[in-house]
Amino acid sequence: MKLTLKIWRQKNQSSKGAFESYQVEADEHMSFLEMLDVLNEQLISEKKSPVAFEHDCREGICGTCNLVIDGRPHGPSQGTTTCQLHMRSFKDGDTIHIEPFRARSFPIIKDLVVDRTAFDRIIQSGGYVSVNTGQAQDGNAIPIEGNTAAKAFDSATCIGCGACVAACPNGSAMLFTSAKVQHLGLLPQGKVEHKSRVQKMVAQMDKEGFGFCSNVGACEAECPKEISIDNIAAMNRGFVGSMFSTEE
């Protein structure tokens, strides 16, 4: 299949970027990233600079393959990362726009690569358990109700990719932050520090310059792990609760 790619090229953070047009011959069995590999081989053999894009696991678990494809973070298919997207989702002769995540708190490093260390700092501010939980536990040593375990697991599937921020018209990081807060706060080891964790992580999120949530719901629609905005409501509830709490 023959494709026209309009790819965002930008030298570094301070330079101005623009879309550039490329032709590429792809196979429908290729993944989207393999198609870009083909393009880069082509550019290298023409002695041009290859397109910088991030990738690592190529199996949907690391959260680095962050591209916006035709206006949608991780492209057109539901509940998948860019690396899991295949060229059979496109047709011969298609024109595809590929650009980086756009948010003030995710500055562009080069081409399609953005700096997502703001997420790391949100995790550092409270996304941990500091009480001693001892050795690895026996399977059922700590009783956890099945429904709660399932909810915590669903929240824990967030891979920290940042598509929620990229999709949000406010550049808000509420879906990511709430997924992390709920993942830890629902389980007995994490519950202990839940109130202070909510406060600290929300404060760090605001400090990083992410926008305020106005419940548009674009995050949930674009999240490759289909994290629900139930998490956001639950974190809001926790935040309100922690404001009236006398605990430190």
Partner 1 sequence: MSLTGLFLITFLLVHLIGNLQLLAGDEGQAFNIYSDFMANNPLIQGISKGLYLFILLHAIQGLMMAWKNKKAKTSKYAGGRGSGSWASKNMALLGTLVLAFMFIHMGDFWYKIKFDSNSINAVSYAGLDHEIKDVYSKVMETFKNPIFVVAYLIGLIALAFHLGHGFQSAFQTLGLRHKKYTPAINFVGLAFAILIPLGFAILPLYMFFN
Q: Tell me, what amino acid is at 85?
A: L
Binding site residues, partner 1, CB under 8 A: 6, 19, 68, 70-72, 97, 99, 102-105, 167-172, 209-218, 221-222, 229-230, 232-240
If binding is defined by CB under 6 A, does position 201 make contact with ligand SF4? no
If binding is defined by CB under 6 A, does position 55 make contact with ligand FES? yes
If binding is defined by CB under 6 A, does position 240 make contact with ligand HEM? no
Q: From the list 114, 118, 158, 235, which residue makes contact with ligand SF4 (rule: CB under 6 A)?
A: 158
Q: How far apart are CA 42 and CA 245, in angstroms?
A: 60
Can you read off the two tokens belonging to residue 67? Answer: 């591209």
DSSP three-state, residue 134: coil
Residues 6+ positions from 157 with CB-CB distance below 8 Å? 225, 227
If binding is defined by CB under 6 A, does position 233 make contact with ligand HEM? no
If binding is defined by CB under 6 A, does position 232 make contact with ligand SF4? no
Please, which residue, 6 or 58, has the CB nearer to partner 1?
A: 6
Site string for ligand HEM, 197-226 (x = CB under 6 A): -----------------xx-----------
- DSSP secondary structure letters along 177-225: HHHHHHHHHTSHHHHTTHHHHHHHHHHHHHHTT--------HHHHH-TT
Q: How far apart are CA 128 and CA 217, in angstroms?
A: 27
If binding is defined by CB under 6 A, does position 75 make contact with ligand FES? no
Tell me which residues touch ligand HEM (CB under 6 A).
214-215
